[in-house]
Structure 1
């Protein structure tokens, strides 16, 4: 019986290859410590054992062993990639001169110009200790057009190591920065000086310069928000996008139109493929003698590669190009282009090339949408849709595609961004068709007419389409209840949900319905998610305690980025000053105190407040954003200790004990956070220890009085 079920899977096993690789990659990133030589040797021996076993056991069971081999291969790929991108990371706070070559220009969340520099030179630092890249936000009156790709700049600024998660188990920017070879981040408030213009630019620098020049030209020809939108979808340069426009697009679930991803690459290459194929069909001698379909596929591939280079070659665009490249190669090989096999091959290429992409929402959402669309439309082939009126078929296709893609990506978007766009389907139905039939073709027309000086024709058509999309985004986002918020799920929810849905799609036979069990389990786990009672920022400057009205924050301003993440993960984002006005914390000047079921925590800000403290002021835990060398009768988390532990989460257990979970204990001891030292398990303080400590303190006071 089992053998029959396993044998029935033959012919559909290629879809499980990226799944097994992803399980291995996910396992690697979830490990509490970096695999050493001994563990790596065991993994190699296990892989060899699986390879031998697969050749001697029954053929029905061989795929299971090969699946285990692929899981081990996924761990190995992630380990190799981690070592391959290794670069120095700053391990202290630096202030002084910063010199480097401009390799990227964008804007930060605070709308400041942000420069990414390589060939970094820092004062009194040897070359082997310098970060490979740094990212500096430029504050002041300097405009983005001041900076040119490839030029060498010098400034005086602050740099610090990439920060860890804002809370235990949260997004790990340290890991993200590691794979970008970003060794430090910071800011400058001084004028940025140009040391040297680009000399003998590489091809990468030339493409970067061309990209920024095109972005500037588009914005000059099409000023305002539409020009910024046009520059973003043509070149990937979002530096001119204002925050309000971005918020409207996100609230209407149209932010995917801004990122150069599968939709843009598919629309562009599909348009080029259709124009060339049907254009050649107009000439019978050519159409009868040459394979016009394959010629069109080759031209579309070339255009896609050019678009990839021009848009900056970010991860999402590279992934999109791989997917369309697999599709057009299938056309060249006379295979069906849109199949689960093609999606699987694209996923394999991405995971082998960049294993870290698995952890990002871009990879998850793009492959979730593509897999769902291919699977559903393959199932719909059984139904005869020709009975529908001809004019309704495109409408039904667009509506169905938007619904399926939105449904497939909604849990992933909610898990990563803690929000659900309730009117996203309506907004996509009103915008996506126009993107395909007007905006992207007009962009191609503008580029084709540019050498003749007539690109304004294409930009004019493009502007009308983009104005409509921005109009839809603003009106949908302005509707009451347009945006809902959800609690951030446990780290196990998305993997369980993904495995359940993939089982339903990839498994053959009636037993595919077993995939409903993990899907239901994932949503139950999500609904049971409990947020920490008290959160502490890794600089000791901010507290957040959960209460009946939501999380109360210790101050109305400062540490705004961390405060925003906490409130979003709670599923209730509000302004920081609103959260600071909630009850739950007792504020006395620069001292804040809170009581958690009998456990007292005190937090101080500044040297004066810390110096004025007598002992621990009766608290069990003292938190401060200063260095504290004074012996105290309580557990102290000063700024030095917090740099080692990262952010804290405090919870009272059912038996009354206090559990302190550190961000470092969840992230583990990995190369990207090696400066934080070894990992210690969560700290549990029992109420018995608390009583003994109180008795010891009382005895000490009595002895002093005598």
Structure 2
């Protein structure tokens, strides 16, 4: 009884501050769903729904301890919600490599990480593939083609398509899961021309408007500045080259390229202030009408228009929800910027797209927003002076940049394996220009567009964007501008987030206890150990750890996989540099001795024939199947499709992508055959003998 009373008193002290925990527990359930190794059955969902409903009823009846019942109820709801969403978006996925005619409607145009233009098609038709097994959407990279069909156009080409691939290494980013929620059932490329099979219809008017505006901006503003303008206004990054993207990332200014909370906040803030000032210039209107609420409505309409024009991606949608919640608070005469508003925005986003919990954008944007609200609330409640009036905006900008950078840095480092060191300087030089020059000039250009005078606004906008790109290139060129970080274990980010969430939301001195799990997470991260051996799921690349870093079996080919491995190692070397680290070769074949086995890489039929001298216990990795001595174990693509990418842990045990991701709706693993069981036995015996 005493314990129950103590808990009730503790929770009573948090009265009025418990709502921000709602998206936390909902997100806990969503995260639990994605961490499962097998898909829950309908009986599990029914049981969780019943348990959640019972807990909700208990929470209503036992008010002193209601929070203890609401927490698992929302967690159960989050797991059921994520499962329902995963089944709702289910669509066919290619089961084989396809080469042949592809027809479809263009729904979006973007660029790949290798700077190639890509088309995303729906209404897909494939030769000799039944409609029931045809993907809802496919994405095709264009090779050597400058003319891009507009959104809404029906096109045809001849393309190579593959099903979405699993993680590049066990425990890594699962692109299959990402593609599942985007209903992408096939990805590939074409070297053939893309032909128009039909004129653009009226089914994707917003996409056509976005494309037309992007092209107009790139025609009026030359060079990559025009591409930056198109990305800023229409969400079209196809005009921004890879070097510019790299400079923006290394200077921590990449967030200016993505239409997110900063852009939405600057735009709606400018519209809110401008409309309010215009009304105040007419005293009869200012005295009779609710000017503040009318300005909020105008800002909300501007934000909604920006959401549509930008393509409505997840990041922009999330930013609009946050802004809409805050402007709604203005309309209801409530304080706009509070943790409750941030929590409500997070709740809406998670209810709409539960999978966004796993995205870097969700984690970073809400981490930054919650940290900013908490810090400025503490400064306000503590009566901390920010100096004279002329100095306050400068100090507010410095504090905002420092707090947002510190809050997002662990998430950015975990997802992108880089840590910019001069991001604060770059943001202090660039963000004010974005807010005072670029965004107002963009609004001015839009207002003057019907009169054909948009050039005035575009000129001013170009000056600001040239300055921002110049800052990015200069800062990214500083010596030691970026350090590379080893990828953390899977438990690090959840533990860090849990600690920081408690520190931000909980009221009272006990909130400092949240710093302990956050510090523990960083300590675990500092001791992260990378696997000594990684084998690509295609069999086309092997990476082994040497004293100077990861050594790769090939200097060319499998470049995307090589880049991910090196990034996760925190290694800045290029693929040719990493390939030069390989120490032992048997003729033309890379050979590695370690963890009690002899590992040989023989990609291609000719090189596999050169491995004919392999012995009992040897493991040969190849991209083809061919006859070899009976004692060898040859890992061919057919075998690797059963396991996915393979890692050998420091203790010599085997870890496969299949084991790391489990059997989920999106995984598509084939049943394991005897070769995989033999591989486990072989590595297990070698580890036991060491």
Per the normalisation by structure 2, the TM-score is: 0.96
Could you say which residue in structure 2 is the equivalent of 1:641?
Answer: 639
Partner SS for 2:265: helix
Partner SS for 1:137: strand
Partner SS for 1:546: strand
Task: Summarize deviations over 1:430-481 as a string: whole Å, max 9, x none.
Answer: 0001100000000000000011111000000001101111111111000000
Could you say which residue in structure 2 is the equivalent of 1:108?
Answer: 112
2: CA distance between counterparts of 1:386 and 1:27?
A: 43
Displacement after TM superposition at 1:112 (Å): 1.4
CA contact (8 A) 1:178 1:672 kept: yes
Could you say which residue in structure 2 is the equivalent of 1:175?
Answer: 177
Displacement after TM superposition at 1:62 (Å): 1.6
CA contact (8 A) 2:595 2:686 kept: no
1: CA distance between counterparts of 2:639 and 2:273?
A: 61
Partner SS for 1:226: helix
Could you say which residue in structure 2 is the equivalent of 1:216?
Answer: 215
Could you say which residue in structure 2 is the equivalent of 1:672?
Answer: 666
Q: In structure 2, which of residues 18, 22, 44 is the aligned counterpart of residue 39 of structure 1?
A: 44
Displacement after TM superposition at 1:630 (Å): 5.7
Q: In structure 2, which of residues 656, 663, 668 is the aligned counterpart of residue 662 of structure 1?
A: 656
Task: Summarize deviations over 1:108-135 as a string: whole Å, max 9, x none.
Answer: 1222111000000000011111000000
1: CA distance between counterparts of 2:13 and 2:475?
A: 47
2: CA distance between counterparts of 1:351 and 1:691?
A: 44
Displacement after TM superposition at 1:651 (Å): 2.5
Task: Summarize deviations over 1:283-311 as a string: whole Å, max 9, x none.
Answer: 11001111010000111111111111011
Could you say which residue in structure 2 is the equivalent of 1:602?
Answer: 600
Could you say which residue in structure 2 is the equivalent of 1:701?
Answer: none
Task: Summarize deviations over 1:7-63 as a string: whole Å, max 9, x none.
Answer: 212211110000001100000000001101232232223223323432454x33221
Q: In structure 1, which of residues 105, 118, 122 is the aligned counterpart of residue 122 of structure 2?
A: 118
Gaps of 5+ in 2: 1-5
Residue 1 of structure 2 is aligned to residue 7 of structure 1: no
Partner SS for 1:593: strand
RMSD over aligned Cα, in angstroms? Answer: 1.9
Task: Summarize deviations over 1:231-251 as a string: whole Å, max 9, x none.
Answer: 110100000101110000000
CA contact (8 A) 1:646 1:662 kept: yes
2: CA distance between counterparts of 1:538 and 1:576?
A: 18
Partner SS for 1:14: coil
Query: Which shifted more, 557-566 or 502-511?
Result: 502-511
Displacement after TM superposition at 1:635 (Å): 3.7
Residue 51 of structure 2 is aligned to residue 51 of structure 1: no
Could you say which residue in structure 1 is the equivalent of 2:158?
Answer: 156
Query: Which shifted more, 448-457 or 501-510?
Result: 501-510
CA contact (8 A) 2:168 2:645 kept: yes
CA contact (8 A) 1:616 1:632 kept: no
CA contact (8 A) 1:251 1:421 kept: yes
Partner SS for 2:600: strand
2: CA distance between counterparts of 1:266 and 1:453?
A: 27
Could you say which residue in structure 2 is the equivalent of 1:188?
Answer: 190
Q: From the superposition, tell whether residues 255 and 217 of structure 1 become closer, same or farther in structure 2 (CA, over 3 Å).
A: same
1:546-585 → structure 2 map (5 Å cutoff): 546-585=545-584
Displacement after TM superposition at 1:509 (Å): 2.1
Task: Summarize deviations over 1:568-606 as a string: whole Å, max 9, x none.
Answer: 0000121110000014442532x2211114321122111
Displacement after TM superposition at 1:689 (Å): 3.9
Displacement after TM superposition at 1:182 (Å): 0.5
Per the normalisation by structure 1, the TM-score is: 0.94
Residue 373 of structure 2 is aligned to residue 374 of structure 1: yes
Residue 307 of structure 2 is aligned to residue 302 of structure 1: no
Task: Summarize deviations over 1:468-507 as a string: whole Å, max 9, x none.
Answer: 1111111100000000111000111011001101101111
Partner SS for 1:574: coil
1: CA distance between counterparts of 2:78 and 2:216?
A: 44
Partner SS for 1:149: coil
